[in-house]
């Protein structure tokens, strides 16, 4: 059946599809297929136009975003979708590329360095995707722009941000997350050794022995999160605390003494080799805190300073003359023998032995008295039984 005959049949049946199908089944199916194809093409074209307009609208509205989250959502959408939407969209993006870049630079200016690292990495990735996606449109200007910016964001902008950060930061507990992020990122770079050298050179300018906030910061550092910075800072503090040649400030020592870290303070004082500073610490702490171990850490230091250690020991022993444990603890402490001299130290040892003997005799006497009382009780009970 020809097309004209098919339409005549359709008209005669008053568009009764079933009647037409009974007379010309093949032609009816072909007609339906053509109509369906036309509908599908129309739907496809409408959807494509919608998606193109939607992407163009996204490019326009990215300039109106108020937060980085909004910007990131839109630039990610552009990066993923632009390869599917034709040259028209690429040309539109090219016309606004500078404004779009300026928009984000303003938004992230107040971010922390940790946030900036993540932002610049994400932007660089999206810019690279845009450059690659636009190669099919042969838009050289747009491609080169986003290729260049993708590289600049990491190799220059972020590099400068990190450099500015480590040259100006005050290392406090609040900076732990930022330092961890910086160290983690630097460790991904090919020139990490060069950057760490510059960073640690800046950090070496800090006063490790006098900055309490810095001391607390170092305490909170973890080697697995910030290995290079942790090792550098830890070495600086260990040199001060254990080397005996550098000053550890009074406020840091106070912090240690008041926060259950007394042993570090005791060890520092007993090993300090700076006579004038030991004298200063002595005047600040010795016999001032009701802390026997603190006082004994001064006595343990062999440096000769202006202090009457012997009188201190005599008074301590006099106040506790019946306390064998106290006397024994004093006698076993470093520097006490040198302070008292051999004769007085021998007397001290004899006193410990004498008290120990007295306590042992007292214990024996108490045990004998207890046995006697028990025997007396038994005797009385036996006498009572005989009387019955």
Which tokens belong to 259?
Answer: 């926060």
**CA-closest candidate to residue 93, choices 77, 70, 109:** 77
pTM, 2 dp: 0.77
The CA distance from 246 to 162, in Å, is 31
% of the chain exceeding 70 in pLDDT: 75
Measured CA to CA in angstroms, residue 69 lies from 106, 166, 217 at distances of 14, 26, 31
Q: Is 267 exposed, middle or buried (0-12, 13-18, 19+ CB in 10 A)?
A: middle
Q: Is 314 exposed, middle or buried (0-12, 13-18, 19+ CB in 10 A)?
A: middle
Question: Is residue 364 pLDDT above 50, yes or no?
Answer: no
Residues 6+ apart with CB under 8 A from 52: 85, 86, 88, 89
Question: Domain locations in the chain?
Answer: 1-142, 244-307, 311-388
Question: Is residue 372 pLDDT above 60, yes or no?
Answer: no
Residue-level pLDDT at 348: 64
Residue given tokens 């005050």 in the structure block: 170
End-to-end CA gap in the chain: 144
pLDDT in tens, 112-164: 999 999 999 999 999 999 999 888 888 889 999 999 999 999 999 999 999 99
Which tokens belong to 174?
Answer: 């609040």
Which tokens belong to 23?
Answer: 């007379």
The CA distance from 271 to 244, in Å, is 6
Residue-level pLDDT at 4: 57
Q: What angle do CA 199, 201, 202 make, to 5 degrees?
A: 70
Least confident range of 64-73, 77-86, 152-161, 360-369: 360-369
């Amino acid at each position: 059946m020809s097309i004209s005959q098919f339409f005549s049949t359709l008209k005669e049946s008053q568009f009764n599809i079933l009647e037409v199908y009974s007379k010309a089944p093949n032609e009816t199916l072909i007609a339906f297929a053509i109509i369906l194809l036309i509908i599908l093409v129309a739907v496809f074209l409408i959807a494509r136009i919608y998606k193109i307009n939607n992407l163009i609208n996204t490019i326009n509205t990215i300039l109106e975003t108020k937060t980085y989250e909004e910007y990131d959502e839109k630039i990610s959408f552009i990066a993923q979708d632009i390869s599917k939407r034709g040259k028209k969209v690429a040309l539109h993006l090219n016309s606004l590329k500078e404004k779009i870049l300026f928009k984000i630079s303003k938004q992230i200016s107040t971010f922390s360095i940790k946030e900036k690292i993540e932002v610049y990495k994400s932007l660089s990735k999206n810019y690279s995707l845009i450059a690659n996606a636009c190669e099919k449109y042969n838009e050289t200007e747009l491609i080169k722009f986003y290729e260049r910016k993708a590289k600049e964001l990491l190799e220059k902008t972020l590099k400068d941000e990190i450099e500015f950060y480590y040259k100006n930061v005050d290392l406090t507990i609040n900076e732990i997350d930022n330092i961890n992020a910086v160290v983690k990122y630097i460790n991904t770079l090919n020139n990490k050794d060069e950057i760490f050298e510059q960073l640690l050179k800046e950090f070496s300018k800090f006063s490790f022995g006098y900055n309490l906030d810095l001391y607390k910061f170092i305490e909170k550092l973890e080697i697995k999160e910030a290995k290079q910075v942790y090792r550098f800072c830890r070495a600086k503090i260990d040199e001060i605390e254990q080397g005996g040649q550098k000053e550890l400030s009074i406020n840091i020592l106070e912090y240690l003494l008041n926060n259950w870290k007394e042993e570090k303070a005791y060890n520092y004082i007993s090993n300090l080799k700076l006579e004038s500073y030991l004298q200063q610490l002595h005047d600040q702490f010795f016999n001032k805190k009701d802390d026997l171990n603190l006082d004994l850490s001064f006595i343990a230091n062999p440096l000769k300073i202006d202090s009457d250690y012997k009188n201190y020991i005599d008074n301590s022993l006099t106040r506790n003359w019946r306390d064998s444990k106290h006397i024994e603890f004093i006698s076993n402490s470093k520097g006490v023998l040198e302070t008292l001299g051999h004769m007085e130290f021998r007397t001290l040892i004899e006193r410990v032995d004498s008290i120990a003997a007295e306590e042992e005799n007292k214990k024996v006497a108490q045990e004998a008295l207890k046995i006697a009382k028990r025997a007396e009780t038994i005797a009385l009970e036996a006498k009572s039984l005989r009387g019955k």
